[in-house]
Amino acid sequence: EPEVTQTPSHQVTQMGQEVILRCVPISNHLYFYWYRQILGQKVEFLVSFYNNEISEKSEIFDDQFSVERPDGSNFTLKIRSTKLEDSAMYFCASLPSLGPPDEQYFGPGTRLTVT
């Protein structure tokens, strides 16, 4: 079964540091997403990405965040200067096409801890 992979599984960083979270979406998928989930809270949409550009982003996705697809396989989320409130699980997801997300797969997540 195809799967989305994410690395690292857990990242600890100090406030103000930059972090890059990595995702490898399913190979034939075209739409990519980042979500975050603060512990015990709901899953929040951050950004969607298609054709090498952002298609949609939420209010959370401010100038501290950026996404990139540096090569044909990786999809990264960068947080430039982390804050304590960025501590959360970050999930990557991908879809083969824009439509019913029957085939949307979520990765296992990266737990980001900002100290």
Partner 1 sequence: QQQVKQSPQSLIVQKGGISIINCAYENTAFDYFPWYQQFPGKGPALLIAIRPDVSEKKEGRFTISFNKSAKQFSLHIMDSQPGDSATYFCAAIRYNFNKFYFGSGTKLNVKP
Q: Kindly give, in sequence order, each residue whose CB lies less than 8 Å from that of residue 49, ignoring residues fewer than 6 positions away.
A: 31, 32, 33, 55, 67, 69, 75
Between CA 62 and CA 111 the distance in angstroms is 20
Query: Is position 87 an interface residue for partner 1 (rule: CB under 8 A)?
Result: no
Among 43, 69, 74, 76, binds partner 1 (CB under 8 A): 43
Among 38, 101, 113, 115, binds partner 1 (CB under 8 A): 101
- Residue positions counted in the chain: 115
Between CA 114 and CA 86 the distance in angstroms is 7
Query: Is position 11 an interface residue for partner 1 (rule: CB under 8 A)?
Result: no
Show the 3-state SS of 29-53.
CCEEEEEEECCCCCEEEEEEEECCE
Tell me if 14 sits within 8 A of 115, measured CB to CB.
Answer: yes
Which residue number, 55 or 81, has a Cβ lying nearer to partner 1?
Answer: 55
Residues 16-35, interacting with partner 1 (CB under 8 A): 31, 33, 35
Query: Is position 91 an interface residue for partner 1 (rule: CB under 8 A)?
Result: yes
Name the minimum Å distance from CB 15 to partner 1. Answer: 25
Among 17, 41, 113, 115, binds partner 1 (CB under 8 A): 41
Neighbours of 10 (CB within 10 A): 10
Name the site residues for partner 1 (rule: CB under 8 A): 4, 31, 33, 35, 41-45, 48, 50, 55-56, 58, 91, 93, 95, 98-102, 104, 106-109
